[in-house]
Structure 1
Amino acid sequence: MIESVTGEMFAVLLMDTQGTFDNNSTYQQCMTVFALSTIVSSVQIYNVVDNIQEDALQHLSLFVEYGRMAMEQPHNFGKPFQQLVFCVRDFKNQEEYEFGENGGTDFLDNILQTNPEQPEEIKAVRELLREYFEDIQCYLLPHPGYKVAERQSFRGHVKDLRPLFREELKKMVPNLLGPHNLKPKIVNGKTVTCRKMIQYFKEYAASFDGETLPQPQSILNANAKLICIEAAHEAKVNYCRGMDRSTYGTRMMSEKKLLEAHIKHGITALNIYDKCPKIGSKEVRSLLLEKLQEDINAELERYKRLNEAKRVTGCASAMLACGDSVFLGIGLGSAASGAIAGAVLTLQAGVVSLGIVAIPISLTTLFFIWAYVWTKPCFEKITNKNK
């Protein structure tokens, strides 16, 4: 947890994708890991050795193509990626470029220059990389020391690092993790919370769960689904809040008024969903719209059950109000009449099972309560006389 200069607390998750693009993994596996780490990260550190080779830039072509598709969408959230940092370790050309950020900036500018002899795909990556990333940096680091290179003898102690390497790290790390430089992860123009991050991991991972290389359209559809999920959640919450206000109170609503409230707040919810940015395929949007409609209908059934429960509550309240008074019979009669009337209305409305159950339960309960209240004084008199 790191506190920013504004006082906000950031949860910094450091992910290590060790072994990416080595000889132990297929190209598809490497690209999948590379793509996922770049998409979910606010800062992607691209670790290369000695130099930025052509194949390192080739790996970025996926993000250039996705960036082009994202920027062409009707709703533009700005640049699709945040920060890319080239970390060139074991850099040897110190005579021309100094270690650190300043030398790295000059080195990167030289690498990203284009010339007519380059293939069009590589040239496009060079030309469009800065357009689709908010910030691109480069750090040149010296060799960490030969003791570190000997894996059998190195145990991870900082003291074993080469002094020059330690000094350059002290400059690099604060520039990435210092309170003044921390920025939250942004997806579709919104700040990502820890809870949302879990959902994002799932959606992005699912979009790459195939036997082919990751496709830009898959990333775009994953983003579209995330937008729709968030809009559907907001719409459902709005519907429930509206229905809570409409059904507030202890008295039972008529079925007509309940359905009117459902239609009113349901239309509002669907309008909220319809206003969410339209990106990606229409199929994703349609599927989540159907899911939202199902959720709203399920909520309506819940409100119907709550409303029906108020019928029994109303009868019980009427009986308790009468208590042991002489007007108990009148109260019981009124409550029973209300129960019967409600049952009749329910039967007329077509809810047969509810009407049939309501009559015997209500009348039986009322009868036993009435019998208990009126016979209780007689039993007490007989008991006192025997004593």
Structure 2
Amino acid sequence: MSDVGCISLADVIDGQLRFNHDNLATFFDLEMFKDKPICIVSIAGAMKTGKSFMLTYFQRYLNSRGWENQSWIDDDQKFATDGFHWRCGIEPDTQGINVWGTPYLVKRSDGKEVAVVLMDTQGLFDLYTTKEDNVKLFTLSVLASSIQILNIKDLILKTDLENLHFCVEFAKIASSKKSTERIQLQSLLLLIRDWKPANSKPYGFSGGKSYLDGVLAEKKGKAKELNEVRNFLHETFKDLQCFLMPNPGPKAIKSNFDGRNDELDGDFLDEVKIFCESILHPDKLVIKMSGNEQMSARKLAYTLAACDEIFLGGKLPLVETLVETLAKAHYESAFQDCIDLYKGKMKVLLDGSRISTTDQVEKVHEEAFKEAIEKYKLVEKVGSEKYRKHFEKYLKEQCNSWKDETILIKKISNKLVTDYKKKMREILRDSCFSPKYLENLHHDVADQLVKDISVELQNNTKIHFKNCSVAILHDAFIEMKKINKENGKNWKIKIATGAGVAACAGTAVAAGVALGTGAAIVGAVVVAGAAVGVGCTVGLGAAIAGNIAIVQRVGGVVMSILQRHRRNQRSNQVKERKTMTQ
């Protein structure tokens, strides 16, 4: 994997959360995501609790393919500086929400590839950001991730549970819907850092489970609000776990600490190894889901972008507003998938010479329309009916609009193909071009015709027509290539390997030197009196490549070489006479 570094998806600027929409769109549009399940591992928590430092071990495991390499944690001199940036001290390091710039492609035992994304978040509840923005950051992290790690130092405190309250409240509203409409979060893993053995629970998942069960057990006499939080944590997340991680050792708190393995306690490295292998092994990855379906990268981008609208302002949005916003993103993404399905089926109507009749367009439209609507109706219901109905209606409108555009384009496509063939035949008359030159001519003629024909079209139809023009002219271009090839045979160009003689207007150029003019005379080499391996008969009086200007340039080059050769001959003769005189 290339060392591309981090990409910022969101940042807190002047106390306000801001999305970087360009980065968001570019990252989730990467080809590596196409048709692949996604696992997003995000780590959040209070500042200076080792979040970015832990992510470097995740990267080391993935880079080294730790599931195939037991020594992936490396030797004593290995630095923890080969990934996400981190540093010791009290100043914050990570800003906003960052992801590693390239997903890790991991193959499971069933042969399917998973795109793994590592996400880092700014330290929560520090002195630099408001409580509202902290909650927004954590909420975004949870919504984006399939595994949300919450970094907690020493012990789970009352404040830690209170800081989860917004997400719990969100789940409370979402879970009050019908079961088919419920929005449920996936996996929350509480990572307790610097766990002390004196606390009686052993390191790892087993000690973490015992500890978390005790913390979340309902206790009489405690505040009703906290008991509610504890109860809803179990209902909010499909999977709730806890891992107890030992302290990395006394050297880790020094200002010059660089993360070398030999500066870390053995218990810490052992548990880090177990932790990474437990969540990042290919067969243990948690796939990002939307209800009962795998969430696509496109839908995830829609979801995060939708949150930007309601997170702009200093105040937190109402939970109901957040639910509705996520529902809108859910159905918008579903609409886009369905309209892409419809367009893909309609596109074949405009491929090459297979320009269809209006009846054929109507028939394909009916089949594609039915399939697109059925696909949309199978989308899991989320939130209120408002957005589901809105995007279903919009899908029908867009399909019918696309059908009308296709019929119009079908009609003007006949003119495009006819005009294209007429223009190209005029150019190709008695001429032969190199393949590259012919391709350039094809693009020039096609672009100009498309531009001329589409002058009066509306913008959307104009774009549609331009995008289809390559497919429309595909077969016509193949026909032009055949004509060009046939013209080449008529020119009786001889290409021979081993020897060649160049003739220019019937005069032999005899200089013992090879003159290369491949670019001008379509790959030919003018040879002056010597066998140089490749030869071709060239007549200056002929219209090479159908362009007199080319012939003139070739003639000029030939005459220039001849003149230089004659000057050299005269110079050599003078030298010979001087030598004889002496």
Q: Do the two structures share a fold, i.e. TM-score over 0.5?
A: yes
More relative contact order, 1 or 2 (CA 8 Å, 6+ apart): 1
Tell me if structure 1 keeps the 8 A contact 2:149–2:191. yes
Superposed, 1:134-153 pairs within 5 Å as 134-150=238-254, 152-153=255-256
Q: Which runs of 5+ in 1 are unaligned?
A: 320-387
Post-superposition offset of 1:98: 1.7
Tell me the TM-score normalised to structure 2 length: 0.48
Q: Tell me which residue corresponds to 1:359.
A: none
Q: Aligned partner of 1:158: which letter? A: N
Superposed, 1:187-266 pairs within 5 Å as 187-240=290-343, 243=346, 253=357, 266=369
Tell me if structure 2 keeps the 8 A contact 1:251–1:314. no
> Measured at CA, do residues 170 and 272 of structure 1 come closer, stay the same or move farther in structure 2, by a change above 3 Å?
closer
Question: Aligned partners of 1:112, 1:260: CA distance in 2, in Å?
Answer: 60
Residues 182-222 of structure 1: CA distance to partner in whole angstroms, max 9, x if unpaired?
A: 12111232213445443333234444333322443244223
Tell me if structure 1 keeps the 8 A contact 2:185–2:237. yes
Post-superposition offset of 1:41: 0.8
Give me the CA root mean square deviation: 3.3
- Find 1:169's aligned residue among 272, 275, 280: 272
Question: Aligned partners of 1:244, 1:25: CA distance in 2, in Å?
Answer: 50
Superposed, 1:276-295 pairs within 5 Å as 276-289=379-392, 291-295=394-398
Question: Aligned partners of 1:73, 1:84: CA distance in 2, in Å?
Answer: 22
Q: Tell me which residue corresponds to 2:399.
A: 296
Q: Tell me which residue corresponds to 2:95.
A: none
> Measured at CA, do residues 291 and 210 of structure 1 come closer, stay the same or move farther in structure 2, by a change above 3 Å?
farther
Aligned length: 316
Residues 297-334 of structure 1: CA distance to partner in whole angstroms, max 9, x if unpaired?
A: 44134213223236648989xx9xxxxxxxxxxxxxxx
Q: Tell me which residue corresponds to 2:237.
A: 133
Q: Tell me which residue corresponds to 2:142.
A: 38
Superposed, 1:229-378 pairs within 5 Å as 229-240=332-343, 243=346, 253=357, 266=369, 269-270=372-373, 272-289=375-392, 291-309=394-412, 312=415
Bigger mean CA deviation after superposition, 197-206 or 21-30:
197-206
Question: Aligned partners of 2:193, 2:275: CA distance in 1, in Å?
Answer: 12
Question: Aligned partners of 2:205, 2:123: CA distance in 1, in Å?
Answer: 25
> Measured at CA, do residues 103 and 287 of structure 1 come closer, stay the same or move farther in structure 2, by a change above 3 Å?
same
Q: Tell me which residue corresponds to 1:24.
A: 128
> Measured at CA, do residues 93 and 72 of structure 1 come closer, stay the same or move farther in structure 2, by a change above 3 Å?
same
Question: Aligned partners of 1:100, 1:250: CA distance in 2, in Å?
Answer: 64
Bigger mean CA deviation after superposition, 4-13 or 33-42:
4-13
Tell me if structure 2 keeps the 8 A contact 1:74–1:278. no
Tell me if structure 1 keeps the 8 A contact 2:191–2:242. yes
Post-superposition offset of 1:224: 1.6
Q: Tell me which residue corresponds to 1:371.
A: none
SS at structure 2 position matched to 1:115: coil
> Measured at CA, do residues 281 and 160 of structure 1 come closer, stay the same or move farther in structure 2, by a change above 3 Å?
same
Question: Aligned partners of 1:257, 1:119: CA distance in 2, in Å?
Answer: 69
1:106 and 2:210 aligned = yes
> Measured at CA, do residues 227 and 16 of structure 1 come closer, stay the same or move farther in structure 2, by a change above 3 Å?
closer
Q: Aligned partner of 2:142: which letter? A: T
Tell me if structure 2 keeps the 8 A contact 1:31–1:214. no
Tell me if structure 2 keeps the 8 A contact 1:3–1:179. yes
Percent identity reads 26
> Measured at CA, do residues 301 and 145 of structure 1 come closer, stay the same or move farther in structure 2, by a change above 3 Å?
same
> Measured at CA, do residues 190 and 207 of structure 1 come closer, stay the same or move farther in structure 2, by a change above 3 Å?
farther
Post-superposition offset of 1:84: 1.0
> Measured at CA, do residues 77 and 145 of structure 1 come closer, stay the same or move farther in structure 2, by a change above 3 Å?
farther
Tell me if structure 1 keeps the 8 A contact 2:190–2:241. yes
Question: Aligned partners of 1:159, 1:214: CA distance in 2, in Å?
Answer: 48
Q: Tell me which residue corresponds to 2:180.
A: 76
Bigger mean CA deviation after superposition, 76-85 or 47-56:
76-85
Question: Aligned partners of 1:283, 1:312: CA distance in 2, in Å?
Answer: 44
Question: Aligned partners of 1:193, 1:268: CA distance in 2, in Å?
Answer: 20
- Find 1:55's aligned residue among 159, 162, 165: 159
Q: Aligned partner of 2:111: which letter? A: G
Tell me if structure 2 keeps the 8 A contact 1:79–1:134. no
Whose helix fraction is larger, Structure 1's or Structure 2's?
1
1:180 and 2:283 aligned = yes
Post-superposition offset of 1:32: 0.7
SS at structure 1 position matched to 2:203: coil
Tell me if structure 2 keeps the 8 A contact 1:250–1:310. no
Whose strand fraction is larger, Structure 1's or Structure 2's?
2
Question: Aligned partners of 1:243, 1:50: CA distance in 2, in Å?
Answer: 60
Tell me the TM-score normalised to structure 1 length: 0.70
Question: Aligned partners of 1:187, 1:132: CA distance in 2, in Å?
Answer: 14
Q: Which runs of 5+ in 2 are unaligned?
A: 1-103, 423-582
Post-superposition offset of 1:287: 4.4
